[in-house]
Amino acid sequence: MNKENLIYQINIKKSFLCVGLDSDISKIPNHLLSFEDPLFEFNKQIIDATKDLCVAYKLNTAFYESNGLEGWKSLMKTIEYIPNDLFTIADAKRGDIGNTSEMYAKTFFESMDFDSITVNPFMGSDSVKPFLNFNKKWVILLALTSNKGSADFQNIISKENNELYKDVISISSKWGSDQNMMYVVGATQASSLLEIRKLIPNHFILVPGLGAQGGNLKDIAKFGMNSECGLLVNSSRSIIYSSNGLDFAQAARASALKIKLEMEGLLN
């Protein structure tokens, strides 16, 4: 999906919600365990119940890998199942030397047809660039993550008086453009979005950590929104695990709708 189409989806749906399918076999409702592929069945019902309220789905690969071959099958079936007008994110946080990053890019962009993949910047330009050579595909680079430990290195201040995450953004933004790169900034770091927007006024920013991790939507929009919206805000656990019963999909819809309505207000 290209940037123009993503913005179009946000405008017609009046939503910049990304639903995180961090689907954990030990947390999904019990009655699904009798299905042949419980993770896929869970995802399918969540997708059916939320696809008109969100513009993107993010699948954290850890939750699928941990389920072995069955998990990879569930991942592949899920990405096939998501309608084409929704932006898809492989939250894989990959990054390796050039020839290896290229293997990862082919896996997620060709074998599985994700629109985007999250990439870790630590290994530098030649670990990221192989992901940028695919038409209408995106790198979503980690900049300032939502976890506490993000402060350990991402906030280290350089001789030139820049936090590392700002160096990551300014240096890496030259490797691609706002048509094929986005950045991850955690919802718990909303106030930093003000400074970040000075560095990348036009790039989309993926903001994970709304809900379970404690991020606040009003602040994210206040500091991070640009004239094209420029935000995808992700919530995982607080949507998909809204109920543990037979009504789990309707309950997920209700949680997603609440966020979507708040987003509609913020977009106006």
| Site for a copy of itself contains 80 (CB under 8 A) | no
| Site for a copy of itself contains 97 (CB under 8 A) | yes
166 is catalytic: no
Residues 131/119, Cβ–Cβ less than 8 Å = yes
| Site for a copy of itself contains 116 (CB under 8 A) | no
For a copy of itself, which stretch binds (CB under 8 A), given 3-11, 144-152, 194-202, 238-246?
144-152
Sign of the CA dihedral with 170 first, then 143, 148, and 206 last = positive
- Convert 213-224 to b/e letters by CB count within 10 Å (16 or more is b): bebebebbbebb
Q: Could you say which of 93, 129, 222, 258 is catalytic?
A: 93
Residue 140 C-beta: closest distance to a copy of itself, Å: 14
- Convert 149-162 to b/e letters by CB count within 10 Å (16 or more is b): ebeeebeeeeeeeb
Residues 207/220, Cβ–Cβ less than 8 Å = yes
| Site for a copy of itself contains 133 (CB under 8 A) | no
| Site for a copy of itself contains 179 (CB under 8 A) | no
Separation of alpha carbons 194 and 67, rounded Å: 39
Of residues 190 through 249, those in contact with a copy of itself by CB under 8 A are: 213
Of residues 145 through 174, those in contact with a copy of itself by CB under 8 A are: 145-154, 156-159, 161, 164, 167-168, 171-172
Separation of alpha carbons 154 and 82, rounded Å: 33
Q: Find the radius of gyration of the CA atoms of the chain.
A: 18
- Residue 88, helix vs strand vs coil: strand
Separation of alpha carbons 229 and 199, rounded Å: 16
Residue 75 C-beta: closest distance to a copy of itself, Å: 10
Residue 257 C-beta: closest distance to a copy of itself, Å: 26
Strands 17-20 and 231-235: parallel
Of 2, 5, 120, 250, the one binding a copy of itself by CB under 8 A: 120
| Site for a copy of itself contains 142 (CB under 8 A) | yes
Binding mask 58-77 for a copy of itself (x = CB under 8 A): --x-xx-xx-xx--xx--x-
What is the binding site for a copy of itself (CB under 8 A)?
A: 22, 24, 60, 62-63, 65-66, 68-69, 72-73, 76, 93-98, 100-101, 103-104, 106-107, 111, 120-128, 142, 145-154, 156-159, 161, 164, 167-168, 171-172, 213
| Residues known to be catalytic | 93
